[in-house]
Amino acid sequence: MLTPGIFNEITFTVTPELTAKAVGSGTLEVLATPVMIAKMEEAAWTAVSDHLEEGSGSVGILMNAQHLSATPVGMTVTCRAELTEVDGRKLVYKVTAWDEKGPIGEGIHERAVIQNERFVTKAYSKL
């Protein structure tokens, strides 16, 4: 059952492959914003995956996040997603991220609960 308060955290070390320079979102060797957002999403979907019916999943439908502070290669980052609202099939999360020195990101993330097979079939019908 999906209830507010469910959360998960993803912890990782910033490597050269996760920098803005490496992923094409900038020229600097610091944690890329798209990577921070992807890790926030990973924390969100994994927080609820064990609570969904078999054959169901969730997909991101909105991310509104701020990247507050740069994190250099070698530092550890933790991203947390906490389910704050369940509105039918829509799930709303508070997402946060921090490194060893303090907060680096925050925002709101929304996901929709879907039937995996139906979703993929519809997506591939575009071809």
CATH number of the domain residue 118 falls in = 3.10.129.10
The answer to whether 58 and 91 are in contact (CB under 8 A) is yes
Catalytic annotation present for 46: no
Mean pLDDT, the chain, whole residue set: 98
User: Which of 9, 29, 33, 42 is flagged as catalytic?
Assistant: 33
CA–CA gap between residue 79 and residue 122 (Å, rounded): 31
The average pLDDT across 91-114 equals 98
Residue 118 covered by a domain: yes
Judge whether 41 counts as a catalytic residue.
yes
Instruction: Report whether 40 contacts 105 (CB < 8 A).
Output: yes
Is position 95 within any domain? yes
Domain count, the chain: 1
Residues 17-31 have pLDDT tens digits of: 999 999 999 999 999
Q: What is the mean pLDDT of residues 103-117?
A: 98
1 pLDDT more than 90? no
Percent of the chain at pLDDT exceeding 70: 100
Q: Is residue 57 part of a domain?
A: yes
| CA-based nearest residue to 93, from 29, 7, 30, 2 | 7
Question: Could you tell me the residue range of the domain that residue 116 belongs to?
Answer: 7-124
Give the H/E segment covering residue 116.
Answer: helix 116-124
* 60 lies in some domain: yes
Residue 103 in domain: yes
pTM of the predicted model as reported, rounded to 2 decimal places: 0.96
| Banded pLDDT at 32 (limits 50, 70, 90) | very high
Residue 2 lies in a domain: no
Q: What does R_g of the chain's alpha carbons equal in angstroms?
A: 16
Sequential DSSP letters for 64-85: EEEE-S--BTT-EEEEEEEEEE
Catalytic annotation, pick one of 17, 27, 29, 41: 41
Residue tagged active-site, from 67, 71, 82, 96: 67
Residue 1 lies in a domain: no
Angstrom distance (rounded) from CA 96 to CA 119 = 28
Is 71 among the catalytic positions?
Answer: no
d(Cα 53, Cα 125) in Å, to the nearest integer?
A: 24
Mean predicted confidence (pLDDT) in 35-53: 97
Q: In the structure, what pLDDT confidence band is assigned to residue 40 with cuts at 50, 70 and 90?
A: very high
